[in-house]
Every structure is written in C-alpha cells, then in structure tokens.
Amino acid sequence: MSRSPNSAPRGPSSLLRGHKLSQRGMLSILMLLASMGALGIALIGGARLILDILGAGLENSLSTLPPKALVIGVAYGVGWISSMVAIRVYGNLVLPFIINFFIWGCLIGICALYVLILQRLYDQAYNLLRFWAYLAIMAAGLGSLVGLHLIIEDHDLRPFSIPLLIISMIQLGLIVFRYVFTTANPAYLWRDLLFFMVMAGFGYLMLAHIGLLTPLRRQLTNYFDRNSRVIRTED
C-alpha cells in the first residue's frame, strides 16, 4: 500500500526540528528587543549626559562623570552585541531598518551638539580642559555613529557626511569672521583650527569612502558568519 507525500508521518526528529526553528525565531525577537532597549537607553543617557556637561560645566560634572559614562558605555555595548547577534547570527531582517533610524538619530544629535559647541568656541569663554572635553564628547558621538554603522552589512556612510561637512564649512566661515572682522584672542586660534580639522577630516573620510573600516568589518563578518553556520547546523 503506497503512502501519499501529504500523509508522511511526523516523527520525533521532525517535531524537534520544528521546535528548534520556533525557538530560533523567538531568540531573534528577544535579541531584537534587547538591542533596541539597550541602544535606546544608551543614546538617551548619552544625550542627557552631554547636555548636563554643556549646561553645568565640565568642572561641576567631574565628580559624577565617570559612573555615568561607564553605565552608558555598558548599555551601548550590550545593545551593539545584541544587534550583531540578532542580525548576523539569527538573520533578523527588521533590526537593520531600526538601526538605520538610530544612526540618523545619532547623527542629528551630533550635529546639534556640534552647533552648541561652536557657540562656545566662538565666544572664547572656555578653558583648555573644557576644550579637550568638547573634543572627547564629539569623538564619543562619532565613535557611536561608526559602531552603529558596522552593525549593518554594506551600510554607506557617505550620505551622513553631508551635514557634518556643511557645519564644518560654517565653522570655517565663523573662524575667518572671528579673527579677521572682530577682535579675537589669538591664543584660541589653534583650538579652533584643531577642532575644525578633526570634524572636517572625519566628514571627508566618510565622504571619500576609502574603506578604512573594511578590515574590521571583514573580521566581524567572518566571526559572526562562523557562529551563524554553527547554529544553522545545530538546527
């Protein structure tokens, strides 16, 4: 007596495979929620910390700065790792779109922060410690942007360089106006030029797209691809 394909028995092995597939999907959703929550908390906490520093001053924030920066860094790290696992290992297709919104939100925050710092640089009412703090804050923001960029495969940073380059050109115009058309303290000139070169240089590197991050991206891709193959084999 022949058995039709539709009436094939579902043995324990097929049920187990189906159970593992559903478990993998559930883990993908959990990693999605974990990454969204951790990255959202990190970005909100970072924005609040930066506004506190710009508002209260660096000297008044030094006592509470290390623990705040530490917990924000931990939240970002958890979100970054969760996102990489969800996308590269479990093949989550929704998270890349969400991460892209996070990248745009991070860029908007960086641009807003850039403008706020430009106001303080133009006024020349800051000391050397605050200047290095401004550079460190911008470096942390740009580092967060690059970290989010590495999560998504084949992500292009060139469109994100345009707002940074526009603000950099505005800063260059302010520098020329401040030192040519007004009375300015020449001791601040090297700080203005250094800040401009760092921000403009980062923007031009993003625009040039010369592949500086390609070796790091390749290593990350190879590492997570190996783990992804292991999980698919176990499934």
Mean pLDDT across the stretch 164-192? Answer: 93
pLDDT band at residue 155 under the 50/70/90 scheme: confident
Contact 107, 149 (CB under 8 A): no
* Contact criterion met (CB below 8 Å) for 142 and 167: no
Give the total number of structural domains in the chain.
1
The residue range of the domain holding 69 is 18-234
CA angle 10, 15, 19 (to 5 degrees): 160
The answer to whether position 3 is within a domain reads: no
pLDDT for 5 equals 45
Tokens of 145: 């942007």
Contact 143, 63 (CB under 8 A): no
In a domain, 7, yes or no: no
With CA atoms as reference, report the closest residue to 146 among 161, 157, 158, 135.
157
Q: What percent of the chain has pLDDT over 70?
A: 80
For residue 13, what pLDDT is reported? 42
Task: Kindly indicate the confidence band of residue 74, based on its pLDDT and cuts at 50, 70 and 90.
Answer: very high
Within a domain: 1? no
Query: How far is 79 from 69, CA to CA, in rounded Å?
Result: 15
Residue 103: burial class (beta carbons within 10 Å; 0-12, 13-18, 19+): buried
44 domain-assigned: yes
The mean of the pLDDT values for the chain is: 81
pLDDT value, residue 92 = 82
Task: State both tokens at 190.
Answer: 């090297």
Q: Tell me whether residue 55 is in a domain.
A: yes
pLDDT score recorded for residue 9: 44
Contact 111, 164 (CB under 8 A): yes
Establish if 9 belongs to a structural domain. no
29 lies in a domain? Answer: yes
- Is there a domain that residue 13 lies in? no
